Amino acid sequence: MIARRSMIGAAAAAVAMVSATSQAQDTAKLREELMALEKGSWEFLRDNNAEGMRGFLADDGLLIFEDGKRYNKREFLALMKDFKLINLTIEPTYAVRMISPDVATLLYRVTYTSTFKGGAAETAKVISSSVYVRRDNKWWGILYQETPIK
């Protein structure tokens, strides 16, 4: 009887270990998938690709930048024509946090230099938080927020 209980306990532990490993692999895969989308959104910005950005941002998306300015999708797409991304460095220590099966937050540090309407170049060093929502089996950027790093 004791041997049988030990075998059942060992089997349960093995199932839990396999489940945890599978979950970690799924999270790592999602982390890379969302970071690829995030890097793509920066490329849309750099290339002034409003159509690409339109396909990235959810219609109810919101972007909040390090200076506190907020933009909805329509406002941000309009702003892109006057924005020039000069330089971008994303640190490799990014992370993903699952909020639900269809909502995830990507956290990372980025330094970028940009100009607006041909003004002086400014460099921002920030912690970025991007919330993604999965709708119709597609991940959409729904909230982007920056916090300055001093």
pLDDT over 70, % of the chain? 83
What's the token pair of residue 128? 């970025």
CA dist 123 and 115 (Å) reads: 9
| Interval 14-68: pLDDT, tens | 544 544 455 556 889 999 999 999 999 999 999 999 999 999 999 999 999 999 9
Buried/exposed code over 35-60 (b: 16+ C-beta within 10 A; e: otherwise):
bebbebbeebbbeebbeebeebbbee
Q: How confident is the model at residue 4 (pLDDT cuts 50, 70, 90)?
A: low
Ordered structural domains, the chain, with CATH: 33-148 (3.10.450.50)
pTM: 0.82
The whole-number pLDDT of residue 97 equals 96
Return the pLDDT at 2.
Answer: 60
Identify which has the larger pLDDT, 17 or 138: 138
In whole angstroms, give the CA distance from residue 108 to residue 128.
5
**Length of the chain, in residues:** 150
Distance in angstroms (rounded) separating the CA atoms of residues 103 and 134? 6
Report the pLDDT value the prediction gives residue 150, as an integer from 0 to 100: 81
Q: Could you tell me which of 148, 147, 149, 145 has the C-alpha nearest to residue 64?
A: 145
How far is residue 83's CA from residue 85's CA, in Å, rounded to a whole number? 7
Contact in structure between 132 and 104 (CB atoms under 8 Å): yes
pLDDT per residue over 123-135, tens digit each?
999 999 999 999 9
For the chain, the average pLDDT equals 89
What's the pLDDT at 13? 52
How far is residue 20 CA from its own chain's centroid?
23
Q: Which of the pair, 70 or 18, is modelled with greater confidence? A: 70
Give me the pLDDT at residue 12, please: 52
